[in-house]
């Protein structure tokens, strides 16, 4: 458990907080490129780390992330005109570019130099692989984007989505890295052959108390959970948690990989970006259909919103008859099941009331790494992974083998989690004839 003071330290990320300062040392993913694909299109409200911002794509295709409120009278630029390489406030016509420079003050005299003294808060932005990142920390400490494997796969190998969750980022991540709950929350009541072939089947249904082995690195930690498959055979699932936003869930062998980014919108809401990709071949139409409809990996959202179709307002569409006869929860979909549990604890769970066990090893470690990172920053120690993008050249993995040894004692397992240094050079990927 955490003390109330430690809980506040972990969960508060607004400007001026220690954890907020720590997270701002990293490039922060905040939206999908396709949400503002059109130059001079409508601006979009964005909430990141407790700040109300506006994202827009200007005439030249550049993306801006700026303060939502005009520095003149603090009205919202969401209503502004995105035109001629800048966003213009409709109240008095003040206009700003993506870097926050004031381009025009038509309400001031023509001979005034007031324009040169006015700036709109703006953050540096980078765009890659359909995701847009902002750097919100001290300019002189701006490091590299993380070099994540999926950032270099072809467009037809990948799918991206985004949604909001009504909870603090920390408990959202805790639900993601808690491998023990898979045997319960995501299980079916039957135990037939088809179920044993599924995610919650043979690897998770028999051994419900996995052995944990967590290893730390400069980029975060590898979360190894071992289950006994049958006599003399062991299933290791090595998920990744990388500073400060990223989780990588190990796929069932042969299936697509999933990465999620858990970015605080504010202390009570989490902005989730999900990436599903293959590094061996293009994704199939069936996979795309499943992802778009929220059947697996991604969440189904209400069209035109970032609100999930299954949500607290409709009790996540729980079906009590289905709970009695077919599903452990009565809730359809892994995302909805996870969200129901995470949000049911309240926007910010009171961790001083918890009673944690050995199955919570990864959660305890994740909290400690974040808290220690923020405390070290208060002492003047910068996080190494905020500067070196190559530290993120890692992937999740899963394997079954016949030896009762930990995953980090197997060189072949360790090598399976390393990404090729040459961008786009993925093991098993198709090569040109």
HEC readout, 45-69: EEEECCEEEEEEECCCCCEEEEECE
Residue 195 has pLDDT above 70, yes or no: no
Position 14 scores a pLDDT of 97
Contact call for residues 222 and 417 (beta carbons, < 8 A): yes
| 429, pLDDT greater than 60 | no
Contact yes or no for 272/261 (Cβ under 8 A): yes
Position 253 scores a pLDDT of 72
**What mean pLDDT is reported for the chain?**
88
Which residue is associated with the tokens 């003399």? 232
Give CA torsion, residues 216, 222, 223, 226, to 10 deg.
Answer: -110
- Terminal CA-CA length for the chain: 57
d(CA 141, CA 135): 10
Tokens of 152: 């270099």
| pLDDT at position 183 | 67
With a cut of 50, say whether residue 192 has pLDDT above it: no
* Domains of the chain (ranges, CATH numbers): 27-141 (2.102.10.10), 149-416 (3.90.380)
Name the band, by pLDDT with cuts 50, 70 and 90, for residue 72. very high
Calpha distance 339→140 (Å, rounded): 38
Average pLDDT in the 201-226 region? 77
Q: Are 150 and 158 spatial neighbours (Cβ–Cβ below 8 Å)?
A: yes
- Confidence at residue 420, expressed as pLDDT on a 0 to 100 scale: 62
Report yes or no: 262 and 167 within 8 Å, Cβ to Cβ: no
User: 43-57, 131-145, 326-340, 404-418 — which is least confidently predicted?
Assistant: 404-418
Which region among 10-24, 168-182, 416-430 has the lowest average model confidence (pLDDT)?
Answer: 416-430
Average pLDDT value for residue range 162-191: 84
171 pLDDT above the threshold of 60 = yes
Average pLDDT over residues 360-380: 95
Q: Indicate if the pLDDT at residue 282 is higher than 50.
A: yes
Beta strands in 243-378 (DSSP E): 246-249, 257-266, 269-277
| Contacts of 422 by beta carbon, 8 Å cutoff, 6+ apart | none
Beta pairing class for 63-67 and 158-165: unpaired
Measured distance CA(179)–CA(208) in Å, rounded? 10
pLDDT at 138 over 90: yes
- As a whole number, mean pLDDT of residues 40-63 equals 97
Integer Cα distance of 183 and 312 in angstroms: 23
Quick one: average pLDDT of 146-171? 94
427 has pLDDT over 80:
no
186 or 50, higher pLDDT: 50
Does the pLDDT value for residue 205 go beyond 70? Answer: no
What average pLDDT does this structure show over 61-67? 98
Query: In sequence order, which ranges of 202-318 are alpha helices (DSSP H)?
Result: 202-205, 285-292
| Whether the Cβ atoms of residue 211 and residue 199 lie closer than 8 Å to each other | no
Q: Are the beta carbons of 261 and 298 closer than 8 angstroms?
A: no
Q: What is the pTM of this model?
A: 0.89
CB–CB of 271/30 below 8 Å? yes
CA 240 to each of CA 171, 274, 309, 403: distance values in angstroms, whole numbers, following the listed order: 16, 15, 28, 23
User: What integer pLDDT is reported at residue 250 of this predicted model?
Assistant: 86
85-94, 123-132, 140-149, 208-217: lowest mean pLDDT where? Answer: 208-217
**Average pLDDT over every residue of 355-366:** 87
The phi and psi torsions of 55 (rounded to 5 degrees) equal -110, 140
For residues 413 and 397, is the Cβ–Cβ distance under 8 A? yes
**Averaged pLDDT for residues 33-42:** 96
The number of beta carbons lying within 10 Å of the beta carbon of residue 333 is 24
Owner of token pair 């570019």: 97
The band of 106, judged by pLDDT with boundaries at 50, 70 and 90, is very high
Q: What is the pLDDT of residue 230?
A: 76
188 or 9, which is more confident: 9
Mean pLDDT on 391-402? 88
Comparing C-alpha atoms, which of 259, 257, 236 is closest to residue 247?
259
Q: Is 80 exceeded by the pLDDT of residue 122?
A: yes
For residue 1, is pLDDT > 90? no
State both tokens at 336. 């909805």
User: Most distant CA pair in the chain: distance in Å?
Assistant: 85
Q: Average pLDDT, stretch 132-157? A: 95
**Paired strand residues for 397:** 238
Residues 6 or more apart in contact with residue 101 via CB below 8 angstroms: 119, 120
The pLDDT value recorded for residue 225 is: 84
Distance from CA of residue 168 to its chain's centroid? Answer: 13
């Amino acid at each position: 458990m955490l003390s109330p003071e430690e809980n506040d330290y972990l969960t508060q990320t607004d400007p001026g907080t220690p954890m907020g300062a720590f997270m701002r040392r990293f490039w922060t993913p905040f939206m999908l490129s396709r949400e503002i694909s059109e130059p001079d299109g409508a601006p979009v409200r964005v909430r990141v780390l407790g700040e109300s911002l506006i994202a827009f794509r200007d005439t030249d295709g550049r993306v801006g992330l700026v303060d939502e409120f005009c520095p003149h009278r603090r009205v919202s630029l969401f209503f502004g005109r995105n035109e001629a390489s800048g966003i213009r406030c409709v109240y008095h016509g003040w206009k700003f570019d993506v870097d926050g420079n004031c381009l025009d003050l038509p309400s001031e005299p023509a001979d005034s130099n007031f324009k040169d003294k006015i700036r709109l808060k703006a953050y540096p932005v980078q765009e890659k692989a359909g995701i847009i990142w902002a750097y919100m920390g001290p300019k002189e400490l701006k490091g590299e984007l993380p070099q994540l494997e999926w950032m270099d796969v072809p467009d037809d190998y990948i799918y991206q989505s985004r949604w909001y969750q009504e909870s603090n980022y920390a408990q959202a991540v805790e639900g993601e890295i808690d491998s023990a709950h898979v045997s319960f929350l995501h299980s079916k009541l039957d135990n037939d052959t088809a179920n044993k072939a599924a995610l919650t089947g043979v690897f998770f249904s028999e051994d419900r108390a996995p052995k944990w082995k967590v290893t730390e690195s400069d980029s975060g930690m590898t979360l190894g959970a071992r289950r006994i498959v049958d006599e003399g055979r062991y299933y290791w699932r090595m998920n990744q948690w990388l500073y400060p936003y990223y989780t990588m869930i190990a796929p069932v062998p042969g299936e697509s990989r999933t990465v999620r980014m858990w970015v605080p919108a504010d202390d009570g809401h989490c902005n989730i970006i999900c990436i599903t990709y293959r590094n061996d071949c293009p994704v199939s139409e069936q996979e795309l259909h499943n992802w778009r409809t929220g059947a697996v990996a991604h969440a189904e959202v209400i069209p035109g919103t970032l609100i999930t179709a299954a949500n607290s307002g409709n009790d996540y569409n729980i079906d009590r008859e289905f709970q009695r006869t077919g599903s452990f929860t009565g809730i359809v979909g892994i995302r909805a099941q996870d969200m129901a549990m995470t949000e049911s604890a309240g926007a910010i769970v009171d961790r001083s009331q918890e009673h944690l066990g050995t199955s919570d090893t990864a959660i305890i470690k994740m909290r400690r790494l974040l808290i220690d990172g923020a405390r070290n920053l208060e002492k003047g120690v910068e996080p190494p992974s905020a500067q070196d993008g190559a530290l993120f050249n890692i992937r999740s993995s899963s394997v079954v083998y016949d030896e009762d040894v930990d995953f980090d004692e197997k060189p072949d397992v360790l090598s399976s989690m390393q990404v090729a240094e040459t961008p786009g050079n993925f093991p098993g990927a198709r090569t040109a004839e």
